[in-house]
Structure 1
Amino acid sequence: MGRWMCFTIVVLPFLFVVVQLERTQARLVTKDFVESLGLSDVPNIAKMNVSQDDYARMVTIYTNRRKQTDLQQVPKIHRRFYSIKAARTSTKENKHKITFRDKRFKSYAVEGATFRLFLVPKKPTKRMHFLVKDRYKNVLENKTLDPEILPKWMEIFVISVDPITPFEVTCHPACVIKQPTLNLFKYRQGILGGSPLTRTKRASKTKWESFILGQSDPKLPKDNSPFVVSDCRKLPANADLCCRMRMEMLFKMTPGFEFVIQPFSYDVGYCMGSCPGRHNWLNHYTNIKTMFWMMKKEKKALCCVPSKMENVEVLYLSSQDSSKLAISTWVGMKASECACT
C-alpha cells in the first residue's frame, strides 16, 4: 500500500508538469504564428464582445470577398449568409427556451451556424453560470462569467440545425436575454467532403485528433477533386506514393485559434508517401540532384513536400479591440499540390 501511495505522489505531479509544458508550448507556437501574420498578440476570445450588427456586417463583407475564390474552385461554391430572429421565446425562472424557424434557401446545405445573444444580469452578481443546450441535450456552452465582462454578447457554435431549431439557455443567477439570433452559413451543393457541420457531427462519434488529422475522406467523390495532380485518391490502393492527403483544420476545436470566426474549417492538406524512380518530380532541380546522387553512388531518398501553396481569407477577432472583427489574407496556409524533391 505504501509503495502504491509513493508511486502516485511521484507520478501525478510529473504528469501535471508534462501537461503544463505541452500547453505552454502550444501557446508559444500559436503566439509565434500570430506574430508572423502581423498581429500584435493572440486575440483573447474570452473577451470577445462584438455586437450582432457588427458581426453580420463583417461576415457579409467577408462572404463577398470570398466569392471570386469560391467561383474558381472545382466544383464552384455558392455561399449565402443570413440571420434569423427568434420565432418564439419563453422564460421560466432561470431557464429560457428560444426557438428559430428557417425556411430560406432550402436548396442550400448548412455549412455552419452560430447562436448569438446579449446577456444581461437581472441584478449585480459576483459570478454568473451560463449553460446552453440544443434540442438533443448536447451542451453547446458551459462557463462561469465574471461580472466585469457583463453585460456581454455571447456566441455559441451550433452543431445541429433543423428547420425548427430550439435552444435552452440557463443562467444562475437569473439573467435577461436580448436579441437572440441564429446566424446561418449556407452553400449550394458541390462543396467537397460535406460541410464542416456535417463533419462535426461525424467527428463527435470519434476522437477529434483522428478527425482533424485524419486520412482522405472516403465520402469525397474522386471526380470532383480540385487537386488533380497529386490527389491520393487517384492512386491505386496501398500505392504508398507521394501524394496529397486531406487534413481538416477546425479553428474552433484547435487550442489557441478559437479567435477565428470564418472559415469554420478548411482543408489544409498534407504530403505523404515515398518517391521511387521518377514519380512526381517537382522540377528539373530534382532531376539534376538525383543524377548527382547516382554518379556518387549515394542512395538518398527524395522527400514528398508541398509544391503549390494557396492563401486563405480569414475573419477573426481583432487583437486591438475585442468589440471588433478584422479580415485579412493569410499567406501560404494551404498545400494544394505535392511533389518529390
Structure 2
Amino acid sequence: MGFNCGAYIGAWTVFVIVYLNITVAAVEFSLLADLGIDSLPDKQKINISLEEYTSVITTYLQLKDDTFEEVPELRVYRLDNLRQQDTSKHPLKMVFPISISTEQVESASVRLLLPPQQNDSSTITVRLNQILGTRRRRFLQDKELYLSSRSPKWCDFDVTPAVHSWINGQRNLGLELVCLGCRNNLNPQQAAITAMIHTAQKRAKRSLENSVKRISDCSTRHRKGKKNKCCRHEMNVTFKDLPFPQLENIVEPKSYEAGFCQGLCPAQSNNFATNHSRIQGMMHQIKKNQVKVDNKKNTIPKTCCAPSKLADLQIVMVNKDNPMKLTVQTWEKMQVVECACS
C-alpha cells in the first residue's frame, strides 16, 4: 500500500484551516467579551420608545468627547397631524416638518409606534422609500419587523439620505412605508424623525479650534515627497463594516475616528514615549554602526511608532437584559490621541 502524498497534504491543509478558524474565533470572542457584548438581546423583543431614545442620547452627547469629532445636537421632528390611512391597499405616506437649512446631518432615523397586529401576521417585511414625485421613489431600506398582537411596538428606519437631501434644498414630499406581501395596519400611533445635526456656528468654532494641532498629528507636519516621522493618522471605523453581529445593537455612534500611528523613529527624534525608548533608539544606532565595522548582527531593535495616549469611547447600545432600554457603556482605550516612538 503506497504512501498517498496528496491525501496527506490535504489532511494537513484542512487541519491548518480549522486551527486558524478556531484561533481567529477565540480572538474575536475575547474582544467581544472584553467589550461586554459577547451576547445578543432578543431581536424580537427590542422596543425602544422615543422617550427612552431621546433621554439616553441626551446623556450620551453630554459625555461625548470632542477631541477629534464635533459633538452634534439631537433634533426631533414630530409628526403631530397623524391621519388614518388604508394601508391594506395603499402605502403609508408621511411628511415631516424638515426644510432647507445651512446645517449638516450626521445621521437620522424615523421612529414609528405601530399598532397591535390583531388579525395579521406579527412578523412582516416592509420597505421605506423617499417620495421624489408622483411616480418617482428613492429606495431607503427593507426591514423585517417583529410586531406584537397585544400592544404597540416601536420600530426605526435609517432615513439619513432623505433628511440630507431635504436640508440641502430638495423638495420634501415625505416618506412612504410599503408592506411587502402583506396587508397589515401600519398607521403609527406616534411618529418622529430623530437626527444628529451639526450647526453652522459649531462648525465655524470647530474649524478655529482645529487650527492648533497636537505635536503627534500628521496633518501639521506632513511635507510633500518626504516620509513622515512618527505621527497620528486618521482611521474612521464604521461598526456595521466589522464582522460582528453584536455590533448591530450599537445605536450611537455609527462610526468613530479611531486613528493609528505610523512613521519613522530616527535616533535624533524628539518624540519618544519614555526615556527608555530614547536610550533604545540611541543603542540601536550605535549597534548599527558597529555592524558595519564588526560585521555582527544588530540585536537591539529600533523603536516603533505606537500610541502613547489613548482615549475612551462612549457607546449607546440596546440593553441585552432589558431590550426596552438603552445603556451607555464606556469602552476603554479605543481612540489614539497621541503617538510616540517606543
Both structures adopt the same fold (TM-score exceeding 0.5)? yes
- Partner of residue 175, structure 2: 167
In structure 2, do the counterparts of structure 1 residues 170 and 317 end up closer, same or farther at CA, with 3 Å as the change threshold? Answer: same
Q: Is 1:85 aligned to 2:78, yes or no? A: yes
The offset of 1:52, in angstroms, is 1.6
Which amino acid in the other structure matches residue 127 of structure 2? L
Deviations 1:91-150 (A, max 9, x none): 55241111111269x564322211111234362327422111224644332134456799
Q: Is 1:251 aligned to 2:252, yes or no? A: no
CA contact (8 A) 1:306 1:336 kept: yes
- Where 1:177 maps in the other structure, the secondary structure is coil
Scaled by the length of structure 1, the TM-score of the pair is 0.71
Task: Tell me the percent identity.
Answer: 25
- Partner of residue 236, structure 1: 223
- Partner of residue 111, structure 1: 106
- Partner of residue 195, structure 1: none
Which amino acid in the other structure matches residue 159 of structure 1? T
Separation in structure 1 between the aligned mates of residue 314 and residue 173 of structure 2, nearest angstrom: 30
- Where 2:227 maps in the other structure, the secondary structure is coil
Matches of residues 260-299 of structure 1 in structure 2 within 5 Å? 260-279=250-269, 280-297=271-288, 298=298
- Where 1:124 maps in the other structure, the secondary structure is coil
- Where 2:96 maps in the other structure, the secondary structure is strand
CA contact (8 A) 1:222 1:233 kept: no
Separation in structure 1 between the aligned mates of residue 28 and residue 141 of structure 2, nearest angstrom: 24
- Partner of residue 321, structure 1: 322
The offset of 1:85, in angstroms, is 1.6
Separation in structure 2 between the aligned mates of residue 312 and residue 134 of structure 1, nearest angstrom: 33
Structure 2, unmatched stretches of 5+, are 1-16, 289-297
- Partner of residue 199, structure 1: none
The offset of 1:226, in angstroms, is 6.4
Separation in structure 2 between the aligned mates of residue 126 and residue 186 of structure 1, nearest angstrom: 34
- Where 2:248 maps in the other structure, the secondary structure is coil
- Partner of residue 60, structure 1: 58
CA contact (8 A) 1:268 1:333 kept: yes
Matches of residues 68-79 of structure 1 in structure 2 within 5 Å? 69-70=65-66, 73=67, 77=70, 79=72
CA contact (8 A) 2:253 2:316 kept: yes
The alignment of Structure 1 onto Structure 2 pairs a total of residues equal to 289
Which amino acid in the other structure matches residue 285 of structure 1? H
- Partner of residue 13, structure 1: none
CA RMSD of the aligned region, Å? Answer: 3.6
In structure 2, do the counterparts of structure 1 residues 233 and 58 end up closer, same or farther at CA, with 3 Å as the change threshold? Answer: same
Separation in structure 2 between the aligned mates of residue 310 and residue 59 of structure 1, nearest angstrom: 20
In structure 2, do the counterparts of structure 1 residues 255 and 97 end up closer, same or farther at CA, with 3 Å as the change threshold? Answer: farther
CA contact (8 A) 1:315 1:326 kept: yes
CA contact (8 A) 2:44 2:146 kept: no
The offset of 1:320, in angstroms, is 1.2
Which amino acid in the other structure matches residue 134 of structure 1? Q
The offset of 1:315, in angstroms, is 1.2
CA contact (8 A) 1:85 1:180 kept: yes
Separation in structure 2 between the aligned mates of residue 181 and residue 274 of structure 1, nearest angstrom: 51
The offset of 1:39, in angstroms, is 4.7
Separation in structure 1 between the aligned mates of residue 334 and residue 263 of structure 2, nearest angstrom: 21
Q: Is 1:139 aligned to 2:139, yes or no? A: yes
Which amino acid in the other structure matches residue 112 of structure 2? L
In structure 2, do the counterparts of structure 1 residues 237 and 48 end up closer, same or farther at CA, with 3 Å as the change threshold? Answer: farther
- Where 2:77 maps in the other structure, the secondary structure is strand
Separation in structure 2 between the aligned mates of residue 91 and residue 289 of structure 1, nearest angstrom: 75
Which amino acid in the other structure matches residue 310 of structure 2? M
- Where 2:276 maps in the other structure, the secondary structure is helix
Which amino acid in the other structure matches residue 328 of structure 1? Q
In structure 2, do the counterparts of structure 1 residues 148 and 84 end up closer, same or farther at CA, with 3 Å as the change threshold? Answer: closer
- Partner of residue 10, structure 2: none
Which amino acid in the other structure matches residue 123 of structure 1? N
- Partner of residue 207, structure 1: none
In structure 2, do the counterparts of structure 1 residues 54 and 26 end up closer, same or farther at CA, with 3 Å as the change threshold? Answer: farther
CA contact (8 A) 1:107 1:188 kept: yes
